[in-house]
Amino acid sequence: KAGVTQTPRYLIKTRGQQVTLSCSPISGHRSVSWYQQTPGQGLQFLFEYFSETQRNKGNFPGRFSGRQFSNSRSEMNVSTLELGDSALYLCASSGGGASSYNSPLHFGNGTRLTVT
Amino acid sequence: SQKIEQNSEALNIQEGKTATLTCNYTNYSPAYLQWYRQDPGRGPVFLLLIRENEKEKRKERLKVTFDTTLKQSLFHITASQPADSATYLCALYGQNFVFGPGTRLSVLP
């Protein structure tokens, strides 16, 4: 079974621009969540989608948004980029149904975003 | 406020010894606790899940304990090898998954 795939692997953007990151979950997984990882803040939850609906949202500004398609693939968008948005963005899929807490997360290798 | 702490940012041990990593949490009542391994430049990889009614869980050289009274989980790697060098993260589920800051383990040959 193929793992979680994230594209692109690396991205360099300028302040004020916007960016879209893509995530393809493991086949059959309907839950997709996104995380931001920085050396200072660690791994922080952005949002989770399940069957095309946002099920949960973390404490990030509205510049961070996402969506999920009917094939469970997900995209994350960050508008009006700031220097502080430089981070590793990780996507994870889960085979859990209505509840996610007892299912392992399967992570992709992330998109490294650098904002200059 | 809710908080997850892991005992130290970095831990160095000699090959063959047992590594013990600690995860402490406050203001959570998790039904499950998970441990992940993360190598540089890669996403975390799931290792073990332990339920609140399980005192201990084992998988090969890995052992996890979960004490809901102490609000603590211990993660042990026995007969450690240099290949075990990585960052280890504990995770709880509140309204969503929350990860600890991680402990960077270095196993020295």
Mean pLDDT split into 10-residue runs, chain A, 116 residues = 93 98 95 94 93 92 97 97 97 77 89 98
A60 in contact with B at a CB cutoff of 8 Å?
Answer: no
B39 in contact with A at a CB cutoff of 8 Å?
Answer: no
Q: What does the pLDDT average to over B29-33? A: 84
- Bridge partners of A67, per DSSP, are A75
pLDDT of residue A86: 97
Whether B19 shows a pLDDT value over 80: the answer reads yes
Q: What does the pLDDT average to over B36-61? A: 94
Q: Is the CB of residue A29 less than 8 Å from the CB of residue A72?
A: yes
**A107/B96 Cβ within 8 A:** no
Strands A111-115 and A10-13: parallel
Q: How many CB pairs under 8 A join A and B?
A: 56
> What is the rounded CA–CA span in Å between residue B73 and residue A65?
34
- Alpha-carbon Rg of chain A, whole angstroms? 13
Q: What does the pLDDT average to over B26-55? A: 91
> What is the rounded CA–CA span in Å between residue B11 and residue A76?
35
Nearest-CB residue to B96 (from A45, A107, A110): A45
A46 in contact with B at a CB cutoff of 8 Å?
Answer: no
Whether B2 shows a pLDDT value over 80: the answer reads no
pLDDT of residue A97: 63
A38 in contact with B at a CB cutoff of 8 Å?
Answer: no
Residue type present at position B23: C
Strands A74-78 and A64-68: antiparallel
- Token readout for A3 is 């793992």
pLDDT of residue A48: 93
**A42/B99 Cβ within 8 A:** yes
Average pLDDT, chain B: 93
List the single best residue of A49, A93, A101 to mutate versus B (max B Cβ within 10 A).
A101
- Token readout for A55 is 């099920």
